[in-house]
A = this chain, B = another copy of it.
Amino acid sequence: MELLSGVTVGRVVISRHTLPAIRPVNHLIDEGWVVIRTRQDVSLVGSASVSGVVAYEADVLDPATWTGWSVTITGTASVVRATAELACYRGLLTRWVDGGGGADQVALISPGNVSGYRLVRTGPAST
């Protein structure tokens, strides 16, 4: 969670039509919860995502040295609906969109399962 707090960008993974879909989003960590802001066409909860379980990954990767880290959280996403809470998070989070407007949503991801690892180079192998 410390590593996650140090970056502002990650990728949320959901199931859409039984296929995995992935989107880059902006995040912040609030009392151990991962808070993200994304377009409403990304169905974080409901029928499109079984029981609202999502994965959230953030990493720092250096292709030049092949080092870095990756952290993945698997947890339940719940969409923020309280007006004041929503306004607060919207002020703190930047939304990334592919141009155009469209409604957005803020969701909290519970840190159900947190796993991570550091990456080290093994290089092209001869075997």
| Contact surface of A with B, Cβ cutoff 8 Å | 7-9, 11, 13-15, 18-24, 26, 50, 53-55, 57, 59, 61, 63, 66, 68, 70, 72, 74, 87, 90-99, 104, 117-127
Contact = CB atoms under 8 A, between A and B. Distances in A.
A19 B53 contact: yes
Given A19-B53, A19-B74, A120 B99 contact: yes
Number of copies of this chain in the oligomer?
A: 2
Most B Cβ at <10 Å: residue of A93, A121, A125, A126? A125
Instruction: Tell me what chain A mostly uses at the interface: helix, strand, loop, or mixed.
Output: strand
Most B Cβ at <10 Å: residue of A9, A20, A23, A50? A20
Given A94-B123, A125-B95, A24 B118 contact: no
